[in-house]
Structures are given as structure tokens and as C-alpha cells.
Chain A
Amino acid sequence: MTTARRAIPGAAALALSLSLVRCGGGTDLRQARQDLVSWSGTLAIAAEQWGRGLDPTPFTRTVSSAARDALKETARDLAQPSSQGDAAAAELQGAARRIEAGRQALDAAIARRDGPAAVRLAGELEALRRQLRTEP
């Protein structure tokens, strides 16, 4: 058997095992935490930039709606059983709810055209992001 012939089943086996690793084992809390950090950071920048009049309203609404969909998906993932413990998942679920509340508050600030409120929200979302990032 040549090296190439040996390599192809090897790669296929690797692909299969990696896909099993990804598909099995319930919720990946590390991934969920990264998603929450990422979207809280995204919303913080979007709120800051809109609040300071740098980004147009339609764009900020688009960012908010993309965040809503992503947060919904993360919350759904977190609702599944996790091998890393229910307490850790519950803590992340709480963080997801706080980010979603911040996102809704941003939508409300946009509707009121309240730039200073959006800048304040940016600060709160940024603090939440830092907290999520420093926790294990």
C-alpha cells in the first residue's frame, strides 16, 4: 500500500472522529462563553459608535438584529444538558439574558434617538464582557 493510499483512510478516520467530537458531548460551554463575549463586545462597540453619531441607525439596527439571532441560538445551546455541570451553564444563561436585555435597551435607545443612553449602555455591556472574559 502506498503512502497516499494509507493517508486517505487516515484523513477520513480523522474527519469522522473530529465530527463525532463536535457533534457529541452536549453543550460546549467554552464555545458558548466565547460567543457571549463576542456578542456583548459587538453590541458594546455598536452602541458606542451609534451613541456618538458615528454609525447610521439602519446599520446599528442590523447589528442588533444579528445579535438577537445569535444570542437566541446560544441560549438554545445552553438549555441542552452539559457535561461541564449545570451550575456553569446556568451562570452563562444568566449572562445571555443580561446581554439580551442590554440589546433590547439599545433598540429602545435607538427608537428614542437617545445617544447618551446608548453610550451608557455600551459601558455596561463592556463591563459584562470583561466579567465574562475573566471568569474561568
Chain B
Amino acid sequence: MKNLLKAGLGVVTSIAGFIEVGSLSTSAQAGAAFRFRLLWAVAIATICLIFLIEMSGRLAAVSKHTLAAAVRERFGIRFQSVPLTAEIVLDTLVLTAEIGGACVALHLLSGIDARWWAVPVALMVWLLLWRGRFSAIENGVSMLGLVALAFVAGVFLLRPDWGEVAHGFVPSRPPVGSDAAHYGYLAVSILGATISPYLLNFYSAGAIEDDWGEKDILTNRIVATVGMGFGSVVSMGVLGMAALVLAPRGIRVDQYEQAALVLTQPFGKWGLPLFAASLFIGCYGAALELGLNLSYVLSQALGWNWGEDQKPKDDARFCTVYTIAIAIGAILIVAGVPPLKLTMLSMALTVLILPLVVFPFLVILNDPRYLRTHRNGRIANLVVLAILALGALLALVVIPLEVAGGR
């Protein structure tokens, strides 16, 4: 039972990787435009993320260093300043998009303009960070996040052609006559929206908050696999529902209102509430995670006192960081900044900084001063090299593809 509870860290981390506003819309767009053909992109993103998350957790469990703290110690603040600055900007953009996404969920249910919800949602995020403990956040959000399994259940209820689904896991060219640039753009978006730098640091900080040690190495491996597996299955469920409900009618997902139609067919009156609840919980959980992550990376890079379980008066600067970030997010949403546009911008930024974030894994995870006997094996290093190569390639193509294939 204790080990089962530890899975909460993996699930809550995966929510910000797979079930947040950007990933949900990207998966829905992919399913609506290309049916099951882009499942391979979700599968590749999942494998990459499982490896990187496992390494972040192993680093924290063995060395008691978070990723940001280890990078600062091993490479110095000068090297770290570029990815750190990019991550602060990126986290603030994504946090804003998540607050916006939670507002959209409430707008879909109530019909009240999303901007009116920005301040209440921001207050809800801030209050839980201010008053709550880390275990309450990880277990609460991960339990509530199970509602998103409705997308997976929906796919089974609508009985897809399983041969076509299986074929989607094999990387393929876009269908003849379709928009190849849009296909490429969506594949890059799925990878960019999933392999997000903030997940890696959040997970390692969470492992420290949960007081993991060397005895938890196997647990870490299971939690990383189960957690990311959960998010991945939900993401595939969203893609599948869009493929089954929207694609046959030629509906493209340009607005959340279109994605929100997908669950009514299998669940009737429960469809819209299930969609809105999944979107709200995914975005709320991701906003909590991003607010915390901003405080983690800044505190760890600058050597401040940090910890969600400490009282605000004991780590005032840690709490100030997320307070300011949440306020900025709320102000931008009230001002009418659309979450979908922010998501596109943050996805491109994520892909651009990915190589810088992944490169330290190759050094730190092979350094016996940090990992002792638990250093990376040959396969893990090969995977990191492959992710680095993929990251470099994506960084080169992301802007041309965003121009040509983005909508």
C-alpha cells in the first residue's frame, strides 16, 4: 500500500506531461486530423519521458540532489543560466496556459466567460500551494486525475478498428493528399508538449520531498513507468476519441468547444461533465506542478531554502516565487491572452531548449560522485544520446513547421 501511494508522484508528474491543456489539445488535433496515424509520436514521447524521469528520480534518491541543484553544482551557475532563464519563461507561459485551461473547463460547463474564472482559479492554485503539503498535492491530484481515464473507456465503448489502431504505432508518412506540414507540426507538438523540462526537475524535487533513498531505486523505476504509462494511455485515449468522433465528420480542433464534443457519444449526458472535469483537473494539477517547479528551480539554483512541506515563513522566497508567477498568469488570462496560443509558443520554446536540458543527464548520470554504483548503463546512455539527437533535430525544424503547419 505504501508503494502504491508512492505512485502518486509519477501520476501527478504525468498529468502535467500528458493531460494538461497543451497535450490535450495537441492529441485531439492529431486524432481529428490524422485519425490514429500519430499514435507513434505519443509512444516515442512516452518512452523518452520514462527514461528521463527514471534518471531524475534515481539521481534524487541516490545523491539527494535535485536535477537543478546537481546541474548548478556540476556545471556552475554560468552554464545553468541559459536553461534556467528559458525554463522560468517557459514555466510562466505554461502556468498561464494551465490557469487559462482550467478557466475554459469552467466556461464550457457554465457558459460564463473564461476570463471571469481566472482570479478564482488562481486563488485555488495559490491556496493549495500555500496551505497544503506535498503529499496532499500529489495524492489528491493523482486520484482526481483518474477521471481522465474516461477517454480510454470511451475508445473501448466506440469499438475502433484495432488493426488501424495498431498500425498507428508504426511511424508512417502522412496520407496522400493531406497536409504534410501539419502532420509534421503535430508530431513535433506531441513530442514538445510531452517531454517538458519542468517534469524532470519537478519529479526529482518530489522524490526529495518524499524522502526517497537508495532503497527506493526499484520503486522509482516502477513509479516512473506506471506514472508516465498512465498519462500516455490517457493521451492516446484523447487522440482515439477525436479519431472516432471528429475525424469522420472532417472536424478539426481549432477551439476547445470542438474537442469537448467527443465524450457525449459514448457517455451521453455525462460526456461534457467528464470532459470538463478531466480538463479542469489536468490543468489545475499542472498549474500546481508548474508553480511549485518555478519555486524549486529558482530556489535550488540560487541556494535558497525550499520545500512545500515547510511553513511559508521558513521559506518565504520559495513561496514568493509561486505567488508572483500565479498572479502573472491570472493577469494575462484576465487580459484575454488565449491559452491555445500560449501553448503553441511554449511548445516551440520547449523543443528549442530540450537539448540543453537533456545534455547534463549524460554527464551527471555517469558521475560516480552523484550516482555511485547506480550510474547509467549502456542502454540508458544510448537512449539519452538518441533523445539528444532527436531534440537537436526538433529544435531545427520546430520553427519552420510552426510557420507552415500550425493553425
Contacts and interface: CB of A to CB of B under 8 A. Distances in A.
A61 B111 contact: yes
A2 B232 CA distance: 38
B140 interface: no
A121 to B, nearest CB: 15
Contact of B264 (A37, A42, A55, A133): A55
B164 interface: no
B138 to A, nearest CB: 32
Contact of A59 (B111, B252, B396, B404): B111
A62 B254 contact: no
Among B107, B245, B254, B258, find the residue whose CB has the most chain A CB atoms closer than 10 A.
Answer: B258
Contacts of B257: 42, 59, 62-63, 66
A21 B404 contact: yes
A102 interface: no
A45 B397 CA distance: 36
Interface in A41-56: 41-42, 44-46, 49, 53-56
A59 B272 contact: yes
A62 B400 contact: no
Interface in B94-118: 107-112
A25 to B, nearest CB: 14
Interface stretch (A11-19, A76-84, A91-99, A112-120): A11-19
B403 A18 contact: yes
Nearest to B268: A54
Given A14-B400, A66-B258, 10 more contacts: A11-B399, A19-B404, A37-B250, A38-B250, A38-B254, A44-B249, A49-B264, A57-B111, A58-B110, A62-B107
A21 B179 CA distance: 14
A72 interface: no
Contacts of B403: 15, 18-19, 22
B146 interface: no
B404 A18 contact: yes
B260 A59 contact: yes
29 contacts: A8-B396, A11-B396, A11-B397, A11-B399, A11-B400, A15-B399, A22-B403, A22-B404, A38-B254, A38-B258, A41-B250, A41-B251, A42-B257, A44-B249, A45-B251, A46-B261, A49-B264, A53-B269, A54-B269, A54-B271, A55-B272, A56-B109, A58-B109, A59-B109, A62-B107, A63-B258, A63-B260, A63-B261, A66-B257
Given A62-B111, A63-B257, A34 B269 contact: no
Contacts of B252: 34-35, 38
A29 B213 CA distance: 60
Contacts of B261: 42, 45-46, 49, 55, 63
A105 interface: no
A129 interface: yes
Given A14-B400, A62-B107, A56 B272 contact: yes
Interface string B383-403: 000000000000011011001
Interface in B285-344: none
B111 A58 contact: yes
Interface string B144-156: 0000000000000
Among A14, A56, A62, A133, find the residue whose CB has the most chain B CB atoms closer than 10 A.
Answer: A62
Given A55-B272, A59-B272, A62-B107, A41 B249 contact: yes
Contacts of A87: none
Contact of B250 (A11, A14, A62, A129): A129
Among A18, A38, A44, A133, find the residue whose CB has the most chain B CB atoms closer than 10 A.
Answer: A38
A37 B107 CA distance: 25
A49 B397 CA distance: 41
Contacts of B404: 18-19, 21-22
B400 A15 contact: yes
A7 interface: yes
- Ranked nearest first, the 8 interchain pairs of A and B with the lowest CB-CB distance are A58-B111, A41-B249, A18-B404, A37-B250, A15-B400, A41-B251, A38-B252, A66-B257
B356 interface: no
A108 interface: no
Contact of A18 (B108, B181, B268): B181
A45 B260 CA distance: 11
Contacts of A90: none
B255 interface: yes
